[in-house]
Amino acid sequence: MSPYEAALDLLRRLDPTKVEQNLNQLIKLDPDLAEDLLASVDTPLKVKKDPNASQKEFLCCDYNRDIDSHRSPWSNNYVPALSAQELEESPFPSDAIRAVEVLANDSFDIYRDLYYEGGVSSVYLWDLGDDADADGAPNDFAGVVLLKKGENSRSSWDAIHVFEVLQEGSTQSQVSYRITTTIILHLNSEKKMTLAGNLTRQTERSFALPGHLSPEQSGIWHVSNLGSVIEEVESQMRNQLEVVYFEKTKDIYRELRDSSQEATTQNRSVHEEVVKGLQGM
């Protein structure tokens, strides 16, 4: 087993509520694993405020980070601000991809409000290959949709959707959306019961390109497709968590509680028999 595989295996066995702390400790033990571990291990999302966009909140992850700053999807600026020299090497999306990113953030902000009734959302895109076609419409690109609920409460839900948008086919008339979704869930009840963990699923959908689209139409079409796929994936994973994992947890809890009550009843019965036996002597 390689050190990387051993590190992942160890993380799976440690307390999921302390995944960030455990990850940092492993990186300290072997700094050479830092890049691979940070790219493959999802941690709860952090929230920052953008001073360039009326202190509007945005989410931080490895995909919008440069040095110790994070790019805001609202103003396209790094927070905290980087120096002019650092900005020359900082990653920014092309103009065509940035236009789609702005549209995606506005759209998923509405999605967040409807489905999460609060929380924070952020979308970050980056180019794959050429920036755009002759008409200025984006070609292949990738991105991440982030959704968080419960920043200031005992419980939290973090949804991380990393995706690629690829034109396929001999005439590039078909677009494929490949999405890897991770849900990080932490439930902490007032009765001192804690449930924590994460669930990852991969999804792929293909759509036929509807003829010639302007750059604006292309952006709307891509965001609409991504929204429908992510809505479907989140619905399935919510249902799986509720029906499969929560119900299984309740079954185990009931079994343990019932067994405990049965054992208590049996012990009490045995105790009464012993007492009666002593009294009858």
The domain ranges of the chain are 93-248
pLDDT attached to residue 112: 94
29 in Cβ contact with 22 (< 8 Å)? no
Nearest alpha carbon to residue 63 among 120, 122, 10: 122
Read off the amino acid at residue 256. L
Q: Note down pLDDT in tens along the chain; length 281 residues.
A: 888 989 988 888 888 778 888 989 999 999 898 888 887 888 889 999 999 999 999 999 989 999 889 999 999 999 999 999 999 999 999 999 999 999 999 999 999 999 998 999 999 999 987 555 555 556 789 999 999 998 766 788 999 999 999 988 666 678 999 999 999 888 776 656 677 778 889 999 999 988 778 888 999 999 999 999 999 999 998 888 777 666 666 677 677 766 555 555 555 554 454 344 334 43
7 in Cβ contact with 149 (< 8 Å)? no
Read off the amino acid at residue 251. D
Instruction: Give residue for tokens 């119900």.
Output: 247
pLDDT attached to residue 186: 82
pLDDT attached to residue 264: 53
DSSP string, the chain: --HHHHHHHHHHHS-GGGHHHHHHHHHHH-GGGHHHHHHH---PPEEEEEGGGTTEEEEE-GGGEETTEEE-TTT--EESPPPHHHHHTS----HHHHHHHHHHHHHHHHHHHHHHSS-EEEEEEEE-SSSB-TTS-B-SEEEEEEEEE-TTSS-EEEEEEEEEEEEESTT--EEEEEEEEEEEEEEE-TTS-EEEEEEEEEEEEEEE--S---HHHHHHHHHHHHHHHHHHHHHHHHHIIIIIIIHHHHHHHHHHHHHHHHHHHHHHHHHHHHHHHHHT-
- The whole-angstrom separation of Cα 60 and Cα 71 is 8
- The whole-angstrom separation of Cα 52 and Cα 40 is 31
Name 50's Cβ contacts closer than 8 Å, sequence gap at least 6.
Answer: 56, 57, 58, 72, 74, 75, 77, 79
pLDDT attached to residue 141: 94
- The whole-angstrom separation of Cα 61 and Cα 63 is 5
Q: Please give the CATH number for the structural domain made up of 93-248.
A: 3.90.1150.210
Nearest alpha carbon to residue 162 among 20, 50, 236, 62: 62
pTM: 0.81
pLDDT attached to residue 12: 83
